[in-house]
């Protein structure tokens, strides 16, 4: 039971971290750009995943 909660909380913390980073990127103007190469991330991709940080290419590289 506790392990289940722990996994849940870890996931939530990761989501919050993503949101926090996205907000910071919005304020410094890098939101919507790949963190690895600076290429623009497609609007459709950002709609599907607003905290996305990588372009298609780097996302698939992991």
Integer CA distances (angstroms), 25 to 8, 12, 19, 30, 33, in order: 26, 20, 10, 5, 9
55 binds Zn ion (CB under 5 A): yes
Give the nearest distance from C-beta 42 to Zn ion in angstroms.
12
Nearest to 39 by CA among 24, 55, 61: 55
From candidates 15, 16, 36, 42, binder to Zn ion by CB under 5 A: 36
Among 22, 34, 41, 52, binds Zn ion (CB under 5 A): 34
Q: Which of 25, 32, 46, 58 binds Zn ion (CB under 5 A)?
A: 58
């Amino acid at each position: 039971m506790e392990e289940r909660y722990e996994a849940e909380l870890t996931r939530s913390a990761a989501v919050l971290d993503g949101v926090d980073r996205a907000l910071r990127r919005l304020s410094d103007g890098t939101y919507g750009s790949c963190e690895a190469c600076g290429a623009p991330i497609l609007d459709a991709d950002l709609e599907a995943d607003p905290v996305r940080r990588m372009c298609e290419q780097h996302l698939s590289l992991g």
